[in-house]
Amino acid sequence: MPRRLLLTGLFGLFSWLFSWGLAYTPLELSAAADAETPRKVRVQGRYTADRDPVALVRGTLSNGDASLRVEGTVFDWRPQSGTPVDLWGVLEPRPGGPVLVVHNGRDPGDSRRPRPAPKLAEGERVSVWLQVTTGGTAARPVPQGVSEDRVAFLLPDYAGPPGVACVTGEVAFLSVLGTERPALTGSRLCGE
């Protein structure tokens, strides 16, 4: 029993380190202009939206004299204009300076953590948070999902509801129009 508790604790610590320490490096806004790009980062500041679109994050993150352009699609949370936030995503080079392509974020005091897709090895069973939709045609719908860090998955056996959900399945790579795409076969909602 003590060994199991120790292993559970170590797994929790590793998960926490992966979600913050390894997946997204903390970055001060004042250092964004000089930072190596592209790279996964986490930044904090006050978000000001260009507009208030429902499905997009587009605006500026500022802290003191430093600012950074941000853009992306909403995963399961959308920052409110004029509020302090933590954002994580990929810092990309652009002609006007670096831009943070937002994966997700949180309000200060919120305990949510990044949930990037794990490394994918064929045949391994993984669990990943996905924004599940249906593509294809009405005659032949194809469930698919996109992870918080924008990895697209085919879900050939998925029978769950659309929306953001934890999905588990066995990793496979399927050819679609000559391109290998990651898939979760035998996929179902986590915990089922």
pLDDT band at 19 (very low <50, low <70, confident <90, very high): very low
Strands 66-73 and 99-106: parallel
pTM reported for the whole predicted model: 0.81
How high is the pLDDT of residue 10? 44
**pLDDT higher than threshold 50 for residue 5:** no
- Please indicate whether residue 192 or residue 6 has the higher confidence score (pLDDT): 192
Average pLDDT over residues 186-191: 92
Over the stretch 147-171, which tens digit does the pLDDT of each residue have? 999 999 999 989 889 999 999 999 9
Interval 118-153: pLDDT, tens: 999 999 999 999 999 987 666 677 899 999 999 999
pLDDT digits (tens, 9 = 90+) for 30-88: 888 888 778 899 999 999 999 766 788 999 999 989 999 999 999 999 999 999 999 99
Q: Write down all domains in the chain, each with its CATH number in brackets.
A: 7-106 (2.40.50.200), 125-189 (2.40.50)
Tell me what pLDDT residue 32 has: 85
